[in-house]
């Protein structure tokens, strides 16, 4: 059984990933920013026979990240950097909030770096794996305009994952980015193509197959390679 850490675990894809790994018999450290508001996650933890442990994390705050890493108390097999934000509702040229753009970079590019760095000692013990939940909007092939903050921050997150894959190879740690699909979440909307559970099942498979040979790649949720 694996020891898994998931950020942004209180809803959407993150919550579905917690469910998926717990159902597989793994132990999950489910991290989110506001534990007191994560009612469903706390309920899942209470019914999981100890397989789900809920903890707090603010990935924009190094002290909070370090405290969360201490909750792992030993080895970690899989770290999933799922926490993210949209970066503002209106991201048009005319109206984009530059402060919100900076915050998007802090959360979706620097944040996963902070988290991964903090968990390296635990991941090194197992030759573990790190997944960055990305987006097709991060790719240079994305054909639509707008969403400057979200797209650029996710693209930066992909590049961070690639660099970390190189830097952590010597420790036996594999790193990859995954486009989770167009998912029926608060961000994806009710008309999206797949459910959070379907996305989580795909990501679960990508993580299981990840190794040092494929470290640094950008995958789709179904396991196919995604263009950078």
Residues 147-154, mean pLDDT to the nearest whole number: 98
Classified as helix, coil or strand, 75 is: coil
Residues 157-173, mean pLDDT to the nearest whole number: 98
Mean pLDDT (the chain) is 96
Domain presence at residue 128: yes
Tell me which residue range forms the domain holding 71: 3-220
Q: What residue spans of the chain are helical by DSSP H? A: 12-23, 39-46, 62-71, 98-105, 111-124, 148-168, 196-209
In which residue are the tokens 């970690």 written? 76
Report how far residue 159's alpha carbon sits from residue 167's, in angstroms, rounded to the nearest whole number.
12
pTM over 0.85: yes
pLDDT confidence tier of residue 150, bands split at 50, 70 and 90: very high
For the stretch 180-228, pLDDT in tens is 999 987 766 777 789 999 999 999 999 999 999 999 999 999 999 999 9
Residue 108's CATH number = 3.40.50.720
Domain count, the chain: 1
Report how far residue 168's alpha carbon sits from residue 128's, in angstroms, rounded to the nearest whole number.
10
For the stretch 101-143, pLDDT in tens is 999 999 999 999 999 999 999 999 999 999 999 999 999 999 9
What is the predicted pLDDT for the residue at 84?
Answer: 96
For residue 54, pLDDT over 90 is answered with yes
Domain presence at residue 8: yes
């Amino acid at each position: 059984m694996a020891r898994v850490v998931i950020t942004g675990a209180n809803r959407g894809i993150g919550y579905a990933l917690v469910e998926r790994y717990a159902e597989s018999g793994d132990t999950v450290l489910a991290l989110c920013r506001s534990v007191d508001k994560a009612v469903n996650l706390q309920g899942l933890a209470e019914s999981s026979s100890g397989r789900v442990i809920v903890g707090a994390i603010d990935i924009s705050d190094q002290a909070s990240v370090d405290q969360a890493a201490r909750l792992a108390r030993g080895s970690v097999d899989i770290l999933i950097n799922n926490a993210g934000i949209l970066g503002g509702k209106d991201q048009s040229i005319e109206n984009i909030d530059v402060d919100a753009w900076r915050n998007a970079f802090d959360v979706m590019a620097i944040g996963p770096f902070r988290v991964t760095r903090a968990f390296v000692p635990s991941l090194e013990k197992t030759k573990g794996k790190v997944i960055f939940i990305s987006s097709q909007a991060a790719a240079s092939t994305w054909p639509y305009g707008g969403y400057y903050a979200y797209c650029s921050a996710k693209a930066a997150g992909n590049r961070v994952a690639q660099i970390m894959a190189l830097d952590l190879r010597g420790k036996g740690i594999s790193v990859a980015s995954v486009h989770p699909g167009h998912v029926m979440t608060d961000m994806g909307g009710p008309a999206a193509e797949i459910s959070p559970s379907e996305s989580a099942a795909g990501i679960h498979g990508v993580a299981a197959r990840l190794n040092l040979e494929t470290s640094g790649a950008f995958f789709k949720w179904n396991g196919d390679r995604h263009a950078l």
